[in-house]
Amino acid sequence: MNSKPRFTCVLFVASAWLLAPAGAGAEEEGIVPSAPAKETGARAGASVSGGGGSGDSYWGEIPESSSANTVAQEPVGRPAWEYVVDLPVYVASIPIEALNMLAEGGAHAYNSTIVQELVHLFPIKIGPTYLSGGIGLGSQDGFGGNISFDTPNFLNEDGKLKIKLAGSTKGQGKAILGVRHPRGERVMIEAGGGYRSDINSRFYGIGPQDRLTRDRKSFYREEQAWGGLSVERHLGASGFALKFSGIFSGVSANGTEDSDDPRLSDPNATEPGGEGGFADELAAEVSNGRPFVGYRDRSDGMTYTAELSFDNTAEAGRPESGTVLRGKIGYFSASGDDDVQFLIYRGEAQQFVPLWFSRRTLALRGYIEKLEDRGNDPIPFQRLLTNDDPDVFRGYHDYRFRDTGIWAVTAEYRWPLWALNHVNGFGLDAYAFADFGQVFPELDVAGDDITTSYGGGLRIAGMGNFIGRLEVGHSNQETIFRLRADQLFQFGKGGLFHGRNPVPER
């Protein structure tokens, strides 16, 4: 679309407004000086003619029209190559225009009385408890939903109790119980426990090399159960906080049952890592030259962690500036006869950079985590690090890679798309992202196994809070759609209370 005529029209109107004589209202407000009180001669009764060139104006006599003071604008043609260059821009603008139209329609719908009354029904108050819910879409769990029961003023006026139930179309179920108990303004105590079952868990192998064989996947049933306690103390108004936690967890990896849908059973397995399920022989083999243990077994044990964090961001919804830093060390020791022990090291940095316009932000994140084996028995595969929330590789399926180490860097450019009533109200922000990273046994940031993902999405936020995200990520292997109520940035708050999966430890 050629924007020159529209720009010319706007410029002409603006020029006419600036040059036009001020009326009575403008004089009263002191916008422009008023004309002298007395006008004599021809100027007092002058009238401006359109093209005759006769008469006077306030600025003087209007000259006769001539080639010296008249410009005739003629239409200017465009060469054919300009249309070719403009075509991709025009095509790319179609979804943006469609989103703007959709957002505008949503704003009108939201402003309607009926819709506002429906929205204000949630959360539903049942005695002292509030009932709410949500939906989600992921590569691992499919389309799912949840209901949450939140009871404020639990144990004290700032305490809170949460019970949450979730399920999905791919056979994933989850139940959690969380308690938040503040002690003064600086200390937060959290306790929580939960159970999670996934009949559609995938295994592709151990190590980054398996990214070249994504079709050689096997299915198994994974179950997790956990319970723990954490104490966090904010170190004054500096933004620093120190957190200690202890969590007992059990995670099992078993063959699928005949009652599961889709039906994935061990006898139907083909080759190790082949379609159809886990092969019996896989447990006796090795994956990339390392022992494979954990299948048809359960790993129980205690994890202790200490974390020092810094966070000076003003909000979680649309932070325009600020820094988030996290450093964590931990130790896992298996219970029972297994001699599985390992140390946990994790470092993470996030930076929000304000850009040239307000509410435009560049969000940067980098992290690295490593498990150091200290026991006589190998680490079970279900406790290895993997690309799952919040450490997803957004162009790949969750749990696509597993190993004793993981690192990634990501960048997001965010800009506002639509907001209701005011700039920080409920609305949509758009973003584009790029991710780079990989799992590893030994760190090699310049190797050939680095994964690359890119894409974009929409963030739903308002009043300083993050609500959800809809995104699409693409890699050289696949395209993944996600609809989630959590974010990759500013993820680590309230893990036990909100029922975040404790295996693997983040």
User: Using CA atoms, how far apart are residues 281 and 485, in angstroms rounded to an integer?
Assistant: 39
Helices marked H in 392-481 = none
CA 198 to each of CA 64, 72, 256, 499: distance values in angstroms, whole numbers, following the listed order = 87, 74, 10, 15
CA dist., res. 506 & res. 496, Å (int):
12
pLDDT for 145 equals 85
Higher-confidence position of 116 and 294:
294
The CATH classification number of 133-498 equals: 2.40.160.50
The token duo for 207 is 């190590």
Cα separation of 254 and 221, whole Å?
Answer: 5
Q: What's the rounded Cα separation, in Å, for the pair 220 and 276? A: 10
Of residues 71 and 179, more confidently modeled: 179
Task: Please tell me whether residue 170 adopts helix, strand or coil conformation.
Answer: coil
Average the pLDDT over each of 263-267, 385-389, 437-441 and give the range with the smallest value: 263-267
More confident residue, 99 or 6: 99
| Local structure of 356: helix, strand or coil | coil
Which has more pLDDT, 336 or 136? 336
pLDDT bin (cut points 50, 70, 90) of residue 30 is very low
* pLDDT tens readout for residues 34-50: 444 444 444 444 444 44
pLDDT tens track for 352-384 = 999 887 778 999 999 999 999 999 999 998 999
449 pLDDT above the threshold of 60: yes
pLDDT per residue over 251-274, tens digit each?
998 876 554 443 333 443 434 434
- What per-residue confidence (pLDDT) applies to 75? 66
Q: With 50 as the cut, is the pLDDT of residue 2 above it? A: no
Cα–Cα distance measured from residue 7 to residue 12, given in angstroms and rounded to the nearest whole number: 9
* Higher pLDDT among residues 345 and 498, named by residue: 345
| pLDDT at res. 256 | 64
Report pLDDT for 50.
44
Burial of 264 (0-12, 13-18, 19+ CB in 10 A): buried
User: CA torsion, points 418, 422, 424, 428, in degrees to nearest 10?
Assistant: -10
> Could you report how far apart the first and last alpha carbons of the chain are, in Å?
49
Distances 392 to 41, 64, 143, 222, 432 between C-alpha atoms, Å = 82, 74, 18, 19, 16
What is the chain's length?
506
Q: What is the mean pLDDT of the chain?
A: 76
Q: Which of 13-17, 110-114, 202-206, 499-503 has the lowest mean pLDDT?
A: 13-17
Query: What is the Cα–Cα distance from 461 to 467, expressed in whole angstroms?
Result: 5
Residues 6 or more apart whose CB falls under 8 angstroms from that of 280 comprise 266, 269
Q: How far apart are CA 273 and CA 279, in angstroms?
A: 7
496 burial level (CB within 10 Å; 0-12, 13-18, 19+): buried
Sign of the dihedral defined by the CA atoms of residues 138, 139, 144, 150, in that order = negative
User: How high is the pLDDT of residue 35?
Assistant: 41
Answer for the pair 305, 285: CB distance below 8 angstroms, yes or no. Answer: no
% of residues, the chain, pLDDT over 70: 70
Confidence of residue 234 (pLDDT cuts 50, 70, 90): very high
Sort strands 451-462 and 465-474 into parallel, antiparallel or unpaired. antiparallel
138-192: pLDDT as tens digits? 666 677 888 899 999 888 888 999 999 988 887 788 999 999 999 888 999 999 9
Give the closest residue to 172 by CA, choosing from 217, 141, 136, 218. 141
State residue 92's pLDDT score: 67
Element at 16 (helix H, strand E): helix 4-19
Give the distance from CA 279 to its chain's centroid: 37
CB 137 within 8 A of CB 144: yes
Give the residue with greater pLDDT, 56 vs 110: 56
Other Cβ atoms closer than 10 A to 385: 24
Put residue 146 in one of left, alpha, beta given phi > 0 → left and psi -120 to 50 → alpha.
beta
The 10s digit of each residue's pLDDT in 296-344 is 789 999 999 999 999 999 887 788 899 999 999 999 999 988 899 999 9
What is the domain partition of the chain in residue ranges?
26-66, 85-116, 133-498
pLDDT at 435 over 90: yes
Report the Cα 426 to chain-centroid distance in Å.
Answer: 16
Alpha helices in 168-274 (DSSP H): none
Q: What is the pLDDT of residues 179-194, one digit of tens each?
A: 999 988 899 999 999 9
